[in-house]
Amino acid sequence: MGWPQAIVDELEDPRYWAYTPGAGPATEPTAMAALALLGHGRTAAAHKACDLLVERQEAAGSLGIGTGEQAPHWATALAVLAWQAAGKTPDAQPSSSKYAQPIERAVEWILSVAGQIMPRSPDLGHDTTLKGWPWVEGTHSWMEPTAYCVLALRATGHATHNRTREAVVLLNDRLLPEGGCNYGNTMVLGQTLRPQLEPTGIALLALATAPDRDGKIARALEYASRQVGPETTAYSLAMGLLGLAAHDRWPEAAPAWLERAWSRNTTLSLGVPRRAMVALATLGPRSPLVTLARGEQPA
């Protein structure tokens, strides 16, 4: 049994659909576990995770963080991705249509929420008038929640919706001029921020089908290509590789890099969402996150 299967075996256990074992299920780890399970052919366990997400969906269509923390609701987009992937796998059962209504309600909620806009300021380098999605309702838009919402909307047939289009513009605007991106800002008080591989990978997934009119996506891809390698930490490596895979830039050495990175994390506390992302990255271009980002049928 290979090391990725050991991760997936663990993710089959509902006790691990939490940020830490025994803490109670939470939306992000449950959704990420479902995606990893689907990618590795563990359909029955994936559907159990998706069913749990349905149970946790609120009347408004959103999903809170988890037990004891109903808000914020940014992880709703991840539930949509899990449900959508569960309904599109080649061996999906007719019962997977039960996710159609939860998806519809969640998408309605996503489209009803927007990050707060602000007047342009010389102290901030990004366009503060563009609407994306926030971590917490009533606050400014940030890269990662916006990227996940773009992925969810594209996967559910809303790629041309005005909100999706504006969010893609926002993501491109937040890319740094020299390549990559930070978690949401570009320049603050005259200082250009440093790029980080994790948000760059998520942004590249969301920008998989976007036109590169100003070369920023190409520079982000070059940044990610330089940052991935045998010494990259497991989660950052996984995110960077998934972003590259969405643009047909999968390195031949990626499997060896992932195995080496994982071997350095066996004694560390790597939460379920991060473990699931590593398991997804081992699938490369066949990962459900990549196929959904590219608008393809999951393998």
pLDDT tens sequence across 216-252: 999 999 999 999 999 999 999 999 999 999 999 999 9
3-state class (DSSP) for residue 66: strand
pLDDT at residue 265, as a whole number? 72
- Tokens 């379920």: give the residue: 272
Say if residue 193's pLDDT is above 90: no
User: How many domains are contained in the chain?
Assistant: 1
Tell whether 216 is covered by a domain: yes
Say if residue 87's pLDDT is above 90: no
Range of the structural domain that residue 142 is part of: 3-293
Q: What is the pTM of this model?
A: 0.94
pLDDT, one tens digit per residue, over 110-140 is 999 999 999 988 888 899 999 999 999 999 9
Tell whether 299 is covered by a domain: no
Residue 233 zone, left/alpha/beta (φ > 0; ψ -120 to 50; rest): beta
Helices (DSSP H) in 40-157: which residue ranges? 43-56, 76-88, 100-112, 143-155
Q: Mean pLDDT, the chain, as a whole number?
A: 91
Tell whether 298 is covered by a domain: no
pLDDT at residue 270, as a whole number? 67
Say if residue 213's pLDDT is above 80: yes
Tell whether 77 is covered by a domain: yes
- Closest Cα to residue 73, out of 34, 36, 121, 108? 108
- Tokens 């159609």: give the residue: 100
Say if residue 58's pLDDT is above 70: yes
Q: What is the mean pLDDT of residues 250-260?
A: 96
pLDDT at residue 95, as a whole number? 46
- Closest Cα to residue 83, out of 109, 118, 46? 46
The CATH number for 204's domain is 1.50.10.20
3-state class (DSSP) for residue 4: helix
Tell whether 74 is covered by a domain: yes
Lowest mean pLDDT among 54-58, 189-193, 231-235, 265-269: 265-269
Tell whether 117 is covered by a domain: yes
- Closest Cα to residue 275, out of 54, 22, 82, 37? 37
DSSP 74: T
Task: For residues 236 and 261, give the distance between their C-alpha atoms in angstroms, rounded to a whole number.
Answer: 10
Tell whether 63 is covered by a domain: yes
Tell whether 136 is covered by a domain: yes
